[in-house]
Amino acid sequence: MASRSLNEINAGSMADIAFLLLIFFLVTTTMDVDTGITRKLPPPLDPEQKPPDVKDRNIFNVLINSRDRLLVEGKPGNIKTLKEETKEFLANPLNKVDLPEKTLKNISLLGDVYVSKGIISLKNDRGTSYNMYIQVQNELATAIRELRDELAVEKFGMKFSKLINEDQTKAIKKAIPVAISEAEPEDIGGN
């Protein structure tokens, strides 16, 4: 009987091909990166420097308890009205004495503009759900964005997000700064 020889497949280059495919997928695949909430933190205080005094009328207090209930300016609040309340507080269009003070500033490209001294103070309980925390953050950020949009449309004829001139965006940011102060979460109760 004649013995047949088996044909073998040369697998020497298979490892090279697998390695090249792996490199290809690593290079061409994009990874989604969670960005989180963008906030510019203030510079660290000098231990000998005293923090600035802020008048009570310039602080907009928002508390979230462990049951995800809002307390806005000492009264029960609603997530649906938070944006409008925040806008009213920061803009203070009627210059009410119980709302924040405004200072007249001359800002390049805008001229003389009243800038609010208002600060939003956000405090939440350790038991606050992440969902409620994000909803509140979104409402506060939306209020600031809408105020910026209104000023940008008034001064430049387009929304803040559509401005391409960096000097214009800087001017709007100076006129309507993001002034959100977040306190460390603590147990503030759930009633």
Count Cβ neighbours within 10 Å for each residue of 150-173 and write b for 16 or more, e otherwise: ebbeebbeeebeebeeeebbebbe
Contacts of 72 (CB under 8 A, 6+ apart): 60, 61, 62, 63, 82, 85
Prediction pTM value: 0.73
The three-state secondary structure class of 53 is: coil
pLDDT score of 191: 54
pLDDT of residue 107: 94
Per-residue pLDDT of the chain (191 residues; tens, 9 = 90+): 566 667 777 777 888 888 899 999 888 888 777 666 666 656 666 777 776 677 889 999 999 999 999 999 999 999 999 999 999 999 998 889 889 999 999 999 999 999 999 999 999 998 999 999 999 999 999 999 999 999 999 999 999 999 999 999 999 999 999 888 887 776 765 55
Any idea where the domains of the chain sit in the sequence? Answer: 56-182
- The pLDDT of residue 72: 95
Residues 6+ apart with CB under 8 A from 86: 60, 120, 139, 140, 143, 144
Sheet of strand 119-124: strand arrangement = 75-77, 70-72, 59-64, 119-124, 180-182
pLDDT (0 to 100) of residue 13: 80
Which candidate, 86, 149, 98, places its Cα nearest to that of 122?
Answer: 86
Query: Measuring CA to CA, which residue among 37, 84, 38, 82 is closest to residue 61?
Result: 82
SS3 111: strand
Report the alpha-carbon distance of residue 61 to residue 52 in Å, rounded: 18
Rg (CA), the chain: 27
* DSSP count for the chain of H helices, then E strands: 4, 7
Please report the pLDDT score of residue 109 as a whole number. Answer: 92
